[in-house]
Chains A and B, each alone.
Chain A
Amino acid sequence: MTDPVINPSGKLLLRPEDIEQGTSLWKDAWHRLRKNRMAVASLIILILITVLSIFGPMVMPYEYQDQNQGLGATPPLQAGAHLFGTDELGRDLLTRTLHGGRVSLGVGLIATLTALIIGVTYGAVSGYLGGRTDVVMMRIVDILYAIPFTIFVIVLMSVFDRDIKLLFLAIGAVEWLTMARIVRAQVLSLSKQEFVEAALSLGLHRVTIIFRYLIPNVLGPVIVYTTLTIPAVMLFESILSFLGLGVQAPMSSWGSLIKDGSEKMDVYPWLLLFPAMFFSATLFCLNFLGDGLRDALDPKSSKD
């Protein structure tokens, strides 16, 4: 403890560190998350992969669509600077993998963000308004749940003429349902609490209450579910690539590279191995980070 500070007028001033600091939920959570070695390692690897995917293609000596017909498919480290080898058109696999990372991470982020915005707003409104509105809004979610994903996205893709950016949005448009349910359940229990009543009695508008009071309080479960949605979206993109609806050649995504690689895994195994490694590592880390966040944000787990 440091000496008390006395100001010229002779009054005792407390230093900020002398006051017993209450820790916020976020500080607590961050503290607990830091102790979870798996989660921290996952976070670091994720940042690494993201940075590599964004800046890697810029510094690589090859472009993702550059072909070298004379070279053909070469195993890793056999020709030139092809660290991961090349595919049968002589395209550098490392460049294509990193470029694919941009697309896949992009799909994951944009589609998840779309799902997040729709789902959180929809769920919060439904849960807060309650009553008949809530029943109707949740029945709509039930109905949309029953539409098979694939048919919906295929029809959407043909409406949108296979635009890659709209593909992101199309996936997001089908992934928000679970988010809406989670948020609704949380808001439903929150909206009965005193601080919401206090806000109401202050005369605040319902929109303000939803966005300033309720949504910040459901961020915990939302963040956790978000880290689990990103891998789901990336897997979905890979299945669309399997159906030929994903990105079009010569563009690459992890999904499309894995799909191409899995067709030739008996002759050119490295074409599957490297993209699959990046893909799996990312999904792995997102899942562990999600688990870590769930434990960290759960006040009940503080005694462990």
Chain B
Amino acid sequence: MFKFVFYRLLQAIPVLLILSIITFVLCRVAPGNAFLDERAVPPSVMKKIEEANGLDKPLPVQYFVTMSSLLAGDLPAIKNLGRTVNELIAETFPYSFELGLIALVIALLLGIPLGVFAAVRRNTLADYGSMSVAMFGICLPTFVLGPMLVLVFAVGFGWFNPLGWEEPSDRVLPCLTLGTYYAAYIARLTRGGMLEVLNQDFVRTARAKGVPPVTLIVRHTLKGGLLPVVSYLGPAFARIISGSFVIETIFFIPGLGRFFVTSAFNRDYNMIMGTVLFYATLLVILNLVVDVIQVLLNPRLKFQ
């Protein structure tokens, strides 16, 4: 297992390297640059600005400078004067992480029971009903669900603050909004996975032996039925904790999500590099964790 983890981490290095080159080239190919403002700047001044920021050097040199200062932690964020990319990510990530983590827990607590329930009652009204609920969760864009929850529970009943991230109760609405989509998706995956397992012979044997239905589900089939959910959780966890621009905008949460959008809008090359590589590293690590968990759950798989 340690060998497996070691080799996978070794493989991740070229992946991240190529990714950083692609991102770098993409940023430089896009028209406009981070220093363009609404005010027109004389070409001579523009040239000075570009020189000061090293933009006149050949691209490979620029790439090398950017990467080495990113790794050293002193890459300046162009649009946030005096701050470094690493500082900004370290400052905003905890908010997104907390939001994402709670949302994912909600999603699992709602999604798995719903999926199991639908699978057990396959092709009945209960199945169609719970899958329709799940489908609604998938169809409803977060920027509709969020304001709707605010309107009902914050403005209408006055139970929560409509926005902000100070009191514990401020977590409820954003996490619920974010979690709903994932809950719906997890419910569908759980149903599919459970159906696969429930059709197998050992389940019939267990039933024939007289294993009570609840024990059968919890002890015998849940582990196998949740395999698709586990493989989905890798990328989903990376995405959910790296922040959601829509939710952070609606609820005024100072998280990481907004940088994924604003940095691209502002052509803040350095910030783009930082966020892309941060997200990619998360993704690589979490996919690895998921692969390990899958082997531990499924005795038929082996570390290769």
- C-alpha gap A263/B19 in the complex (Å): 37
- State whether A147 touches B135 (Cβ < 8 A): no
CB within 8 A of A287: which of B135, B245, B272, B284? B135
B266-304: contact bitstring with A at CB < 8 Å (1 yes, 0 no)?
000000100110011001100000000000000000000
Pair B280/A146 contact, Cβ less than 8 Å:
yes
A157 to chain B, nearest CB (A): 9
Complex contacts, A238 vs chain B, CB 8 Å = 141, 143
A147 / chain B contacts, CB cutoff of 8 Å: 19, 22-23, 276, 280
Q: Is the CB of B29 within 8 A of A159?
A: yes
Question: Which of B14, B29, B135, B235 has the largest count of A CB atoms less than 10 A from its CB?
Answer: B135
Determine if B246 and A148 form an interchain contact, defined as CB atoms under 8 angstroms apart.
Answer: no
- Is the beta-carbon distance between B260 and A158 smaller than 8 angstroms? no
Name which residue of chain B comes closest to A276, CB basis.
Answer: B144
Partner of A155, one of B16, B30, B136, B235: B30
The answer to whether the Cβ of A58 comes within 8 Å of any Cβ in the partner chain is: no
Q: Among A145, A151, A262, which residue has its beta carbon within 8 angstroms of that of B147?
A: A262
- Considering the chains assembled together, what is the distance between the CA atoms of A146 and B280 in angstroms? 5
Whether a CB of chain B sits under 8 angstroms from the CB of A283 is yes
**Which residues does chain A contribute within 8 Å of B16, judged by CB atoms?**
146
Take A148-B260, A239-B246, A266-B155 as given contacts and tell me if A283 and B30 are in contact as well, using a CB distance cutoff of 8 Å: no
B260 and A143 form a contact (CB under 8 A): no
Which residues of A249-293 are within 8 A (CB) of B?
A: 255, 258-259, 262-263, 265-266, 272, 276, 279-280, 283-284, 287-288
Q: How many residues of B contact A (CB 8 A)?
A: 45
- Whether B139 contacts A280 by the Cβ 8 Å rule is yes
B5 at the interface (CB under 8 A from A): no
Q: B26 near A: Cβ within 8 Å?
A: yes
Given contacts A38-B128, A242-B246, contact A283 B144 (CB under 8 A): no
- The CA of A131 and the CA of B151, in the complex, are separated in Å by 56
Cβ–Cβ contact A146 & B265, under 8 A: no
Q: Contacting B139 at CB < 8 Å: which of A146, A259, A283?
A: A283
B261 x A154 contact (CB < 8 A)? yes
B40 contacts A by Cβ under 8 Å: no
Q: Chain B interface secondary structure, helix, strand, loop or mixed? A: helix
Q: Is the CB of B19 within 8 A of A143?
A: yes
B143 and A265 within 8 A (CB) = no
> Closest CB-CB distance, A265 to chain B, in whole Å?
6
A291 to B, closest residue via Cβ: B131
A283 CA to B139 CA, complexed, in Å: 6
Interface membership of A196, Cβ < 8 A: no
Task: Kindly state whether residue B221 has any CB partner on chain A within 8 Å.
Answer: no
Once the chains bind, are B26 and A143 in contact (CB under 8 Å)?
A: no
Cβ of B65: which chain A residues have Cβ within 8 Å of it?
none
Is the Cβ of A155 less than 8 Å from the Cβ of B27? yes
Given A148-B260, A258-B144, verify A280-B136 contact (CB < 8 Å): yes
Interface centre among B199, B260, B264 (most CB of A within 10 A): B264
A150 within 8 A of B: yes
**B29: chain A residues within 8 A (beta carbon):** 159
Q: How far, in angstroms, from A263 to B144 measured CA to CA in the complex?
A: 9
A243 adjacent to chain B (CB < 8 Å): yes
Complex: chain A residue closest to B257, CB-CB? A150
B146 to chain A, nearest CB (A): 8
Contact A266 B151 (CB under 8 A): yes
Contact B139 A231 (CB under 8 A): yes
Contact (Cβ within 8 A) B143 A151: no
In Å, the complex CA distance between A242 and B155 comes to: 23
Determine the residue in chain A with the shortest Cβ distance to B281: A146
Across the interface, do B15 and A143 meet the contact criterion of CB distance under 8 Å? yes
B106 to chain A, nearest CB (A): 20
Interface residue? A235 (CB, 8 A): yes
> B60 an interface residue at 8 Å Cβ cutoff?
no
Residue A195 at the chain B interface, CB threshold 8 Å: no
Q: In the complex the two chains form, what is the Cα distance from A146 to B14 in whole Å?
A: 13
Q: Is the Cβ of A146 less than 8 Å from the Cβ of B27?
A: no
Given A159-B30, A262-B143, A276-B144, also A151-B276 (CB < 8 A): yes
A residues with a Cβ closer than 8 A to B are 38, 139, 142-143, 145-148, 150-152, 154-155, 158-159, 231, 235, 238-239, 242-243, 255, 258-259, 262-263, 265-266, 272, 276, 279-280, 283-284, 287-288, 300, 304
Interface contacts beyond A143-B22, A146-B283, A151-B23: sample of 7 additional A-B pairs, CB < 8 Å, sorted by A: A146-B284, A259-B143, A262-B144, A280-B139, A287-B138, A288-B135, A304-B123
5 closest residue pairs by CB, A with B: A146-B280, A154-B264, A283-B139, A280-B139, A151-B264
